[in-house]
Amino acid sequence: MNRRNFLLVSALSPLLAKDYVQRNQDVNLNIDDLKVLYTLDQRFKRLRRYIGFANFNIVSLDQAFYYGRNYSSIGKFTQKEQLLIEKLFYSEPNKFGFYGEKTVDTITKTINKKDIHKISNSGHFIFKGKPLNDYNRILNDVGDNLILTSGIRNVVKQLSLYISKVKSLNGNLSQASNVIAPPAYTYHAISDFDVGKKGWGNRNFTSEFARTEEFYKMQKLNYVSIRYTINNKDGVRFEPWHVKVI
């Protein structure tokens, strides 16, 4: 996206909220945007396959556009796809029932590799400093059965996760925002990380994790807090696996 078009789209963003449709008290994408969402979801998947899972976690939007323009296996992001990306990033999610704080102001946010550390055999990165120190302390205090299930997520990664969830819910932004933070509102972009139990797979992202010995041990550590507790004020489901870096 060139700078002129980017600034034009940004200026229009407050008006784009009119394109959402409210049905049965939930907010949904309109049918045209839902069609674009499907092509965008596939393009992000092609990008992830090309650059690899780990790199996809930290790639910037400008880099994603570069790969799209230059590699036919990914394909150039269309104007409609770029517009939808803007719309999802700049929308006010309290209209969808999400009340968390905005963590990323710039849609083209980049992550300096000097500031991050890759966790071996995980495909994930953690920010150096307190996030990495907290992770290592938890691992030491809880034991080797604990694993990192999600670390840093730059804008592209969070967009991809959010889009996939919206797609699976047929465009329902309200339900999607209860399960995953909108792209400009994830703490994974600045500090937080997810942990799980070895061998549990996707069960680590369910409330079942709260019944594990690993979670029990974590709860006893005075330096560990859970970001999304039961009935949290942000409007997100209970996430016992999501470690809050404070």
**How large is the average pLDDT for residues 70-80?**
98
**How large is the average pLDDT for residues 68-86?**
98
Each residue of 178-207: pLDDT tens digit? 999 999 999 999 999 999 999 999 999 999
User: Going by C-beta distance under 8 Å and a sequence separation of 6 or more, which residues neighbour residue 177?
Assistant: 93, 96, 97, 98, 235, 236
Residue 3 lies in a domain: no
Residue 1 lies in a domain: no
Whole-model pTM? 0.89
pLDDT at 6 over 90: no
Residue 11 lies in a domain: no
Residue 83 lies in a domain: yes
Each residue of 154-175: pLDDT tens digit? 999 999 999 999 999 999 999 9
pLDDT of residue 24: 52
* Dihedral over Cα of 64, 66, 67, 69: its sign: positive
**Domain coverage including residue 33:** 21-244
Looking up residue 157, the CATH number of its domain turns out to be: 3.30.1380.10
Residue 13 lies in a domain: no
**How large is the average pLDDT for residues 96-112?**
96
Residue 4 lies in a domain: no
pLDDT of residue 13: 40
